[in-house]
Structure formats: C-alpha cells, structure tokens
Amino acid sequence: MLAAMSHAAASPALLRASSIPAIRAVTDAWRREGRTIGFVPTMGALHRGHGALVAAAARACDRVVASVFVNPTQFGPAEDLSRYPRDLEGDARLLAEHGCHALFTTTPEEMYPPGFATWVTVDGLTEGLCGASRPGHFRGVTTVVAKLLAIVGPTDAYFGEKDRQQLQVLRRLVLDLDLPVRVHGCPTVREPDGLALSSRNAYLAPEERLRARALSQGLRDARAAWSGGLTDPAALAALVRGRLDAAGAAVDYVEVVDLATLRPLPPGAPAGEDTLIAVAARVGATRLIDNHRLGDPFPRATAGEGP
C-alpha cells in the first residue's frame, strides 16, 4: 500500500478534460511550449496492456494524453456496445500510475452531433480478418481515430499489437492522410498463461477463462513448429485450429497472412518472419482475438499452461 502510494505520488497529477474544447486548451498550451505529446486512445476498462502503451508514451514524450471513449460507431448492431465494461475511476488510477498527464473523455453526442456525415475509410486492409466478420467496424475505428488525432494533436500515438489489423489500418490512414503524427505499435501484454490482455476478458466465466488459453496456445504451437521448419501456411493454421477445437472455441477465423497486406500468402509461398498468424474465436459468448508475427519472440507461458 505504501509502495503504491509512493508510486502514485511520483506520478504527475492527472488532468481531467471532459470535452473537446477542454482537451484542446490543454494540448494547445503544450504545443505552444514546444512539448512532444504522446496519445493513447482507448475504450476504457483499462488493463496492463493499456498501461504499457501509456508507459511507452511517457518514456518517449514530454506529455501523455489518454482518451477513454466507448465509440458506438465501431460496434455492430448485435455487438456488445451496451455492456462494454466501464470503470472510469479505475482507469484514471491506472493512467496516473503509468505516467499519463491528461485524460480526455467525451460523449457520443459531442463526437457525433446531429447532421454528422463524414467518414474516413481505408480500403483493402480492412476487408479481411475482423473486417469480414465485423462489417462497419473499421470505418468506425478509422473515423474516430482521425477525429481524436485532430482533437488532441499529438506528435506520437500508441496502439497495441493485440489489435494488429487495427494497427496496420491506422498506419495506412496516417500515411495516406499525411497526418503529422508518428504511429507506434507496442507488443501484446499477456497473462502468465499466455492469454492476451483484453477488456473483454472480463466477460469470461472461470471455466471459459481456462478455455480461452487455446488462442495463445495455438499461436505458440504454430510458432514452435515454424521455428522447427514448418512453413506451410495451411499446416500452421491447422495447429491453431486444433487447439481451438480441442477447447470447444468457435473459430471465427484462423488466417496466415502477409503483415503488409493482411492477405493470405500466395499459393506455395512459405511462412516467413513477416508472416502474421491471426485468430478470432468465440469462447462462450465472448469473441476474442490474438495474433503473432512469426519474426517476433513469443513469450513463454510461466503459469497455467494447459496440456
């Protein structure tokens, strides 16, 4: 408790800006002072994965802004918008502890006022993987991120590799629209047993939580096989599917794709370092995603690794 308090005492005071003009006033002042500004956009229900993004921003930038906004336009009509977990006070504590200076919150009414009609779309990269199973999702993501970048005006923005397709799409958006911001991807943070941290893990019943290990186990199996010389995409995908099937997880997709295009490898091409294995599966009612770029290290599970 003392340690936590002393940690908190060392952190900057967290400014709270709950409207677009309020956060603009904060970042305008920082820009006038010539500060670099790191930005971490989130939907709240923050976990250590978000903490790692904030910490990376705090190491590299003079000031760090995080936003918490559960963006309705990136949820499909049958998705979990209304029950998406919310814990703003917990979020504020986690942000302060990781070195965040300002928390921007807003409302759907402020972000999408009557008459709102402008959308930012990225073709190609958004078509496969989660784009195929969540129509409209990426249009919501790209539009809200374009808005948030315009509102906050950061020099640097931080996104997790857990949402790898999102990261690649946003890199494309920033490049194509000439936005004056550097995009940084940060490694997925995992539970000791390998499960990728996600706000949606909170939906999992204890028994589902155990079965959810199948995603990272499948990726680890595939990675180990690739390191051992297996480069056939279909065979690598089959290893992941095997884990998911054994755990009774309903596969949405298991795909072996080129990281740059997010498209399946051409026929006969071997999986290489820039090959991504991406998976989405439902455990009970909860849709989970994970991915692994074969050229990256895959962390060893240190606890609870299943058979």
Enzyme catalytic residues: 50
Contact between 119 and its own copies by CB under 8 A: the answer reads yes
CB of residue 259 to its own copies, shortest distance in Å: 13
Among 114, 115, 228, 267, binds its own copies (CB under 8 A): 115
Among 33, 89, 109, 178, binds its own copies (CB under 8 A): 178
- State which residue, 12 or 135, has the beta carbon closest to its own copies: 135
- State which residue, 177 or 202, has the beta carbon closest to its own copies: 177
Closest to 259 measured CA to CA, from 121, 122, 129: 129
Three-state DSSP state, 205: coil
Residue range at the interface with its own copies (CB under 8 A); choices 9-17, 65-73, 145-153, 265-273: 145-153
Pairing between β-strand 63-68 and β-strand 286-293 as defined by DSSP bridges: unpaired
Contact between 121 and its own copies by CB under 8 A: the answer reads yes
Sheet holding 286-293, edge to edge: 250-258, 275-283, 286-293
12-71: contacts with its own copies (CB under 8 A): 20, 24, 32, 34
Cβ atoms of 289 and 163 within 8 Å: the answer is yes
Total number of residues that touch its own copies (CB under 8 A): 28
Task: Say if residue 178 is exposed, middle or buried (CB neighbours under 10 Å; 0-12, 13-18, 19+).
Answer: exposed
Task: Say if residue 266 is exposed, middle or buried (CB neighbours under 10 Å; 0-12, 13-18, 19+).
Answer: exposed
Cβ atoms of 116 and 26 within 8 Å: the answer is no
CB of residue 169 to its own copies, shortest distance in Å: 9
Q: How many CB atoms lie within 10 A of CB 36?
A: 16
Among 52, 70, 94, 179, binds its own copies (CB under 8 A): 179
Contact between 89 and its own copies by CB under 8 A: the answer reads no
Which residue, chain included where needed, has tokens 């079965």? 211
- State which residue, 34 or 266, has the beta carbon closest to its own copies: 34
CB of residue 158 to its own copies, shortest distance in Å: 20
Question: What is the DSSP-derived secondary structure letter of residue 6?
Answer: H
- State which residue, 4 or 29, has the beta carbon closest to its own copies: 29
Contact between 259 and its own copies by CB under 8 A: the answer reads no
Residue 63 half-sphere exposure, CB side, CA atoms within 13 Å? 24
User: Which spans of this chain sit near its own copies (rule: CB under 8 A)?
Assistant: 20, 24, 32, 34, 115-125, 142, 146-147, 150-151, 153, 172-173, 176-180
